[in-house]
Amino acid sequence: MKKHLYTTDDVPGFHRTEALGLVRGSSVRARHLGRDLTAMFKNIVGGELDEYTKLMGEVREQALDRMADEARALGANAVVGVRFVSTEIATGAAEVLAYGTAVKLTPKSGTDS
Amino acid sequence: MTAPHPSRDELLAMAFVDDQLDHEARAAFALRLQSEPELAREVAALQRLDLMAQHAAPAEPIDLAWQAIDSEPAQRAVLGFGWLILFAGILGMLAILVLNFAHADLPLWQKACLAGVFGGLSLIFFAILRRRLQSRPFDPYTAVKR
């Protein structure tokens, strides 16, 4: 399932046999105070705040996995039209909502899955 | 020397993470995870590996530069000493606050209220810290780099 997440509505080589509805997954995560302090100093001197790059990566992957789990529970084998929404709940925390449409995909005849 | 064969539970955990179980087997295994912490820890470790494998992109030049700088003895010593004196300073300030508070010319009920506020906050913090430390092995997302 994890590898069958698409931002497009159609997947080349497959057709949708069933649309099972909206699925979503969200997560809010924060780094610890020590990382926030390090990032604060990096904010002064410039460059990538890799503490927050990592934070965004963690929250994105968790939201995607939760969305995929929800699709799996519905009996889907793919999610199409995947989108991300990000906002800020609290200072130093990141929230990502991933959503899409759970579908059943079947290979078109003459196509290898 | 050959590696021991994985147990049935280890094979099931691998199949669970790789999404190879059918619906019923997956639901039954997920139910077991709720009551078997060792198994849940094994699944989290496999999920961590899976996440790392998904992001097995080669290191960027800047990663190598950061690693080289972070491993310099001078850099490590300065950072370590910085954290050490920061923590020592914070502990010292807390000790001064507690001493001043104990000797402050305040009615007992005011002291009790303030002690309640700080004591309560401390207990809540330690409970949350304990929860985080105990749940960390079950959190595979800490392996994500970017």
The reported pLDDT for the residue numbered B55 is 75
> Distance (Å, rounded) from C-alpha B25 to C-alpha B130?
33
pLDDT in tens, B100-119: 988 989 999 999 999 999 99
Q: Is B47 exposed, middle or buried (0-12, 13-18, 19+ CB in 10 A)?
A: buried
Q: At A82, is the secondary structure helix, strand, or coil?
A: strand
pLDDT tens figures, A48-84: 999 999 999 999 999 999 999 999 989 999 999 999 9
Question: What six digits make up the tokens of B95?
Answer: 């000790």
Enter the DSSP assignment of B137: G
In this model, does residue B3 exceed pLDDT 70? no
User: What's the rounded mean pLDDT across residues A23-44?
Assistant: 93
Phi-psi region of A91 (alpha: psi -120 to 50; beta: other; left: phi over 0): beta
Sheet holding A93-107, edge to edge: A14-30, A93-107, A78-87
How far B63 CA lies from chain A's nearest CA (Å)? 10
Q: Are A98 and A25 in contact (CB under 8 A)?
A: yes
Instruction: Spell out the alpha helix ranges (H) of A1-113.
Output: 33-45, 50-73
Cα dihedral A58, A83, A14, B30 sign: positive
Contacts B146 to A, Cβ<8 Å: 50, 53-54, 56-57
Q: What is the pLDDT of residue A60?
A: 94
What is the average pLDDT across A83-112?
A: 87
Task: Tell me how far CA of residue B100 lies from CA of A44, B93, B97, B104, B127, in angstroms.
Answer: 35, 10, 5, 6, 27
Strand, helix or coil at A74? coil
A48-51 long-range Cβ contacts below 8 angstroms, 24+ apart: A48/B62, A50/B66, A50/B146
Which residues of B lie inside 8 Å of A (Cβ-Cβ)? 19, 23, 26, 51, 54-55, 62, 66, 83, 141-142, 144-146
**Which tens digits make up the pLDDT trace of B58-89?**
778 888 898 899 999 999 999 999 999 999 99
B21-48 confidence digits (pLDDT tens): 888 888 899 999 999 999 999 999 999 8
Which pLDDT belongs to residue A113?
Answer: 44
- Residues in chain B with CB shorter than 8 Å from the CB of A48 are 62
The band of B7, judged by pLDDT with boundaries at 50, 70 and 90, is confident
Average pLDDT on B8-19 reads 89
Q: Distance between CA A103 and CA A13 in Å, rounded?
A: 15
Please determine, for residue A28, whether its predicted confidence score (pLDDT) is greater than 90: yes
Distances (CA, A) of A107 to A16, B20, B22, B75: 9, 19, 20, 55
Q: Which residues of A touch B54 (CB under 8 A)?
A: 2
Q: Are A16 and A41 in contact (CB under 8 A)?
A: no
In this prediction the ipTM stands at 0.83
